[in-house]
A and B are shown apart, each in its own frame.
Chain A
Amino acid sequence: MSEAIISEIKLANAAELDLFLSEESQQRIMSADERDTLQEMMNIAFGRAAASLAEVISIFVSLSVPCVQLLKGEKLTVYLEQMVGPGPEISIVEERFYGKMEGSAFLVFPADAGGQLVPLFGDEETLYEGEAREEVERDALLTTGGILIGACVGKLAELLGDQVSYSPAKLVAKTQGKAIPAALCNPDAVAIVLKTDFSFREESVQGFLFLVTSQESIGWLKEALAGFLSQYEG
């Protein structure tokens, strides 16, 4: 079964679990055109991020069609559990970003991804020499995550006319239940989730990146989307 189909099934399950706001509610907050524009921006931003990563390590990233969903903050943890599914541990790299658009970016990898990424950074023997294995693998994950998240969020902000600053990338959890910061899980808040699946062709590492922005960003985001689209009008 292809990754895209698996992803669609997971999204369908998420919808069945009533995680997302109804289409009517989503429409009230952001129109279909606004969500489509944001989705296209995420596509552009992640494409740039993949190219940035390829400049640093010899890797080819297979991209997929991103999706944009609105859900209640309190459902974020369940959403992540649904996306990852039961099974082995996962590694999550998180980076918070601050600007007119604020939120957190999460890069979710299988738990063993660090070990698979290390050889892409150079000679394994040299990299592991005198270092704890776990530290080297953690570094590989953080570096990969930092590049992908930084380039993706940076491009997205640039397209929206914003400039963001970041907290340093950190490995937040090896279990999904603890990954989402409490501030984003506010039961009264609406979160925008932008998710894109990817796989590294050479190492068969699969994962996904998702960005969560707070409800406070929505008003500004709508204006920024209108500004972006205005250059294509008339």
Chain B
Amino acid sequence: MRFSDQFEQRFAEMLTHYPTKRSVLVPTLLYAQDETGYLSDEVIEELASRLELTALDVRNVISYYSMLTTKPRGKYNVQVCTNIACMLRGGEELLQHCEKKLGIGHKGTTPDGLFSLEEVECIGGCSWAPAAQVNYDFHENLTTEKMDRVLEGYAKKVTA
């Protein structure tokens, strides 16, 4: 199992921040997921052995956090917020629109592996509701038309 040099650098540095190794597990999982797309059995075993934990311990932590996944996801993970502010401003319609447009449901992935869809809790974009997050990018004050353009933009990124 090989990670990028940047990952290794971050990992080594994080270890110095805490009294016990296991404390770095959560950020490490996130960085690993950013690199590999999802937390495969191989990644879990590797991190477990590095941090002197059991694979079960690592899985327990992963299962606690909804942003960590053990299943492959699309290249772009579309997260539509339906918490109260977004819901009042049409977040649920936005989600339904995305479902229809992409042809997938909550936690689904398009057959071409380009998009995944997720209904998420508050992402902190209440002032500009409804909001959605694609990977780490925020898109605010969305309408169904605006959402279409956002999705097309990502689709183009790949073909370009």
**Do A and B assemble together?**
no
